[in-house]
Copies of this chain bind each other. A is one copy, B any other.
Amino acid sequence: MEMAAAMTSLTDIESVLKALASERRLQILDWLKDPVAHFPPQEHGDPEAHGACNQFIVEKLGVSQPAGSRHLKVLTDAGLVIPTRRKGWVYYRRNEAALANVAALVASI
């Protein structure tokens, strides 16, 4: 069993800050604090448990579908959101542990 990576190098901090340094992506993270309040009801996928689906986020961003999907990929690759694939949709929720870790990292700058 492996320890969680410490993620203390400047390069690591840089990469996660680059993922965060985008108004669109900050907006997504903010919406995902309360998916029920910010997105339409979903018949499939519990918004409390799994977050909002790709499509709703893209629509609310007001950009093209590929552009929105790429923002979600950046957040996912940085570990800041967690995707759940289900019945052809992909739901995204915040990774609160990772976000708390980022806050701690920034506090150490």
Contact = CB atoms under 8 A, between A and B. Distances in A.
Contact of A103 (B20, B26, B103): B103
A27 interface: yes
Nearest to A27: B10
Interface class of chain A by DSSP: helix
Interface string A1-35: 00000000011011001101111001101100000
Contact of A106 (B14, B18, B103): B103
A103 B13 CA distance: 13
Please state the number of chain copies in the assembly.
2
B18 A21 contact: yes
A17 B21 contact: yes
A107 interface: yes
Interface of A: 10-11, 13-14, 17-18, 20-23, 26-27, 29-30, 99-100, 102-103, 106-107, 109
What are the 9 tightest A-B residue pairs by CB atom distance, in nearest-first order? A17-B21, A103-B107, A106-B106, A18-B21, A14-B23, A21-B21, A10-B26, A103-B106, A10-B23
